[in-house]
Chains A and B, each alone.
Chain A
Amino acid sequence: MSSLNKSSFFQIFLSYLPTIILFLSVFNEFDFNYLRIENFSFNFVHILIFYWTLRNPNFLSYLSIFLAGLINDVVIGIPIGISSFCYLLICSVTAYIRNITLSPSFINDWLSFLFIILLINSIQILILDLIYLYEVNYINYLINSGFTFIFYPIFFFIFNYLNQKIIIQQND
């Protein structure tokens, strides 16, 4: 196990893990965004992008986020470019928070996350509803935003563990 931990392949794999999870989430049919449970859904990709671009942007490049957005649009069938734009807006907020914050705090991150998911879901509704004339269910968006916000702490601790593991591996 210790030899596995020290192998360069494992180190590379760990450093690409956030990107792999991101692409699997957008490509795969299984989606937390649609769990076939009445009035329950959350956007795992938003949490993933927010956490990694805020805490360790070196492991999730903006280009891969842009491409993941394009893929997500094609797979779920909404006009191409919308998800990329929303994902990059998350990145811009996290980049700004990183620049103005000296000591990161979980509560501040969590509240910023609420602001950004409400902002990007509003933008998505505006684009789909007003420009493309898609009929969208506002309640679904609101429920999705609410659960995404509530689930952030759980994934925060999982990703934090992973992040520490990656940093330890990189420094070994």
Chain B
Amino acid sequence: MAVGRDHFVIAFRSAFLKKRDKQRFSLLTLIFLSIIVIILGNFNFKAINFIKLGINEVIYRTSFIVSMPENYIKKGNIHIKEHINLYDDYKNKEKEIKRLKQQKLSNDYLILENKRLRDLINESINSEEIFAKVLIDKESPYLKSIVLNKGSKDKIKIGMAVIDGIYLVGQVIEVNYTNSRVLLLSDLNSKIPALIEPLGIQAVVSGTGKNHGEIEYTKEKYKDEINSNEMIVYTSGLGGLFKPGMPVGKINSDIKNDIVFFSDFSQLDYVKVVSYIIGSNK
């Protein structure tokens, strides 16, 4: 028994403490170092934050450069597919433009009416927009996020909304000097207040860690009502961070709770980072 224990101790010491020929550090030193890094990462000291920002800056830029060849291949592949489907796409787009032209007329009227009504109650929504390029969109099974090429020097702040065209895609969760990280709506930790139209039901849209979202915190009686094909999810603006009425996604008619996001998060190239000032005109 004692011999067995001795063997274990010798093997353990040799594995953890002894440096091999080409190893500059022992395993135990590096394990302690990584534990120290984890612990220090939790503290909000100025020095640690500066180091973290520096590491982030260098790694994000390097990752962008390393991913360049792969991104060229990806884009080339998309171009080829677009060329192959050109005629079909053209026909579909022609139909869509016709439909949208008709819809625009009624929308113009609604916009003017909305503006008049807001003026009546002295409410205003002002926004500041910053255009940003997506540097990295390396998603993991654990965290759905993207890195943008704009940071604190471009007045990006934590909590700002990120939109693709008119569709909400997420919010800023980390800001470095020249870049920032955006948590996508599909992430498990993303929760945004929403409005389900045309029923007008208030709900919380949560990410699932997959490519779709789901509706949380809606009473059972409302859940039964959500079964139409034309259910659109908009931001409700209740959190104060987002403007009300930004389109988020469409409710999948087959699975009542699932939301298909309007924006394809895997194809984001340029996005708008927006902060809203919602208040009174007075």
Residues of A near any B CB (own CB < 8 A): 24, 27-31, 33-34, 36, 38, 41, 57-58, 61-63, 65-66, 69-71, 74-82, 84-85, 88-89, 91-92, 95-96, 98-100, 127-128, 131, 134-137, 140-141, 144
Contacts and interface: CB of A to CB of B under 8 A. Distances in A.
B25 A63 contact: yes
A137 B207 CA distance: 11
Given A61-B22, A63-B24, A75-B59, 7 more contacts: A30-B70, A58-B22, A69-B34, A76-B142, A81-B34, A81-B35, A137-B142
Nearest to B65: A27
A99 B15 contact: yes
B265 to A, nearest CB: 10
Nearest to B38: A81
B188 interface: yes
B35 A61 contact: no
A76 B27 contact: no
Interface stretch (B117-125, B132-140, B222-230, B241-249): B132-140
A29 B70 contact: yes
9 contacts: A58-B22, A62-B23, A70-B37, A75-B59, A76-B138, A88-B30, A92-B15, A134-B143, A134-B189
A74 B60 CA distance: 8
Contacts of A69: 34
A31 B15 CA distance: 30
A45 to B, nearest CB: 12
Contacts of B141: 33-34, 41, 137, 140-141, 144
Contacts of A34: 138-141
Interface string B264-280: 00100000000000000
Interface of B: 7, 10-12, 14-16, 20-27, 30-31, 33-38, 41-42, 52, 55-56, 59-60, 62-63, 66-67, 70-71, 136-143, 145, 174, 181, 188-189, 209-211, 266
Contacts of B174: 77
Contacts of A78: 140, 142-143
A98 B56 CA distance: 36
Nearest to A30: B70
A78 to B, nearest CB: 6
B50 to A, nearest CB: 14
A127 B39 CA distance: 11
A88 B189 CA distance: 28
A71 B59 contact: yes
Contacts of A33: 140-141
Contacts of B16: 92, 95
Contacts of A85: 31, 34-35, 38
A137 B11 contact: no
Contacts of A100: 7, 11
Contacts of B142: 76, 78, 128, 134, 136-137, 140-141
A81 B145 CA distance: 19
Given A28-B66, A76-B140, A135 B188 contact: yes
A27 B140 contact: no
Contacts of A71: 59, 63
A55 B204 CA distance: 51
Contacts of B143: 76-78, 134
